[in-house]
Each structure stands twice: as structure tokens, then as C-alpha cells.
Amino acid sequence: MTQDELKKAVARAALAYLVDGEIVGVGTGSTANCFIDELARIQHRIRGAVASSEASRQRLEGHGIPVFDLDKVDAIRVYVDGADEINAALQMIKGGGGALTREKIVAAVAAKFVCIADGSKLVAVLGQFPLPVEVIPMALGHVRRQLAAIGGGTPVLREGFVTDNGNLIVDVKGLSITDATALEARINQIVGVVSNGLFAQRPADVCLLATADGVQTLTAD
């Protein structure tokens, strides 16, 4: 199976976690796009969706799926999103598409976080994928210096990119993250950081992993 076929297979599998008549949280990225396309086939079963980015909102609305602002929604039963990396504890690096802050907000509200990914995203140690950090523009220099001082990684500005929130992304390359929860908290304490792409304090509840042998269901060790 090609990577696109794997993404479509795992997106279809995620439909089993939907709750009829409820609003579903939807992530951002190529695998989330596959889920949105699958969601369009059964949209009569749900009230609508909350999108974690403007790109996802546009794709959902393009399929005729109602999109609700999160502050108008009391609860989300299920949030479905991909990952750039995920480990056995279902901790993730996310934000390759730059939507990490809104993804974290929707994930925090959701009762269940279902991560959908192809097998290449499962790693023993997080950090080979650069860690995105969303930064308020005026704090860029300060944040880059503080990130460099943490050690072990090189902070690089994502050129020509602005988040949906009007901020910048610094990608920290070359990390080997052995304590994701501690590093997530440490980076978030840097003044000028909006959020970072470690989803360790709020990991996934279940991961649907697409492999050549089919979709595997992983839960945290």
C-alpha cells in the first residue's frame, strides 16, 4: 500500500469512534484531510465539526459539513487528528502544518483523542521530526536564544510562514526527547511562546496506526 492508501485506510477506521448526533473535533494535515473526506460520506450521522485550522474549516465546509466555533460548543466527545511523530506512550510531536496551538485547544476540550497515522510515524524516541514552537513575533529573538540554551537542538525560523493566529513558528531540530512532559512544560514557560508541538501532558487516548498488515489499535503502555 502507498502512504496515501495507508492514510485513507486509517481515516476510514476512525469513523468507528464517532458518536452519532454529536460534534466531532477535526485536526489539520494530510491525514486529517483524508478523515474529513471520509467524514463527508457519513455526515448525516453528526451535528457538525470543530476545526483546528482555517484550512480544515474550508475543507469541511467544502463538503457541506457545518463547522462550529469552539467557544460555542460545550463539549466534544471525540477529536481526530494525525501526528508527525508518536511514541509508545501516545505522546506526540505535532505542528508540521503549523496548527499546533489550535490543535492543543481542541484536544484539551475533547473527551477522547484519536490519533490516526501511518506506521512511519511511530518512533521509540521523539525528536527526529523538528519540534514546532509558536512564537509571538516581537519575542522571536528572545525565544530563539532560550530554546538554544535548553541544549540538544537547533532552533530555526520557519521562513515565510505565519500561523492562523498571526504568529511565527520556530522549528527545533536535532532533539532527542526522553522526558516529553517536562520539556513541554519548560518550553511553554518561555516568555513569548504561545505553545509548542509536544502533546505529552495531553497525549492521545488511542492511536490507529496504518500498516501493510492493516490498521493496528494502540493504547498507552
Residues with catalytic roles: 103
At residue 179, what are phi and psi to the nearest 5 degrees? -130, 85
What crossing angle do the helices spanning 180-188 and 140-150 adopt, rounded to 10°?
Answer: 150
Q: Residue 108, Cβ neighbours under 10 Å: how many?
A: 13
CA dist., res. 119 & res. 175, Å (int): 21
Closest alpha carbon to 193 in 95, 121, 115: 95
First to last CA, the chain: 28
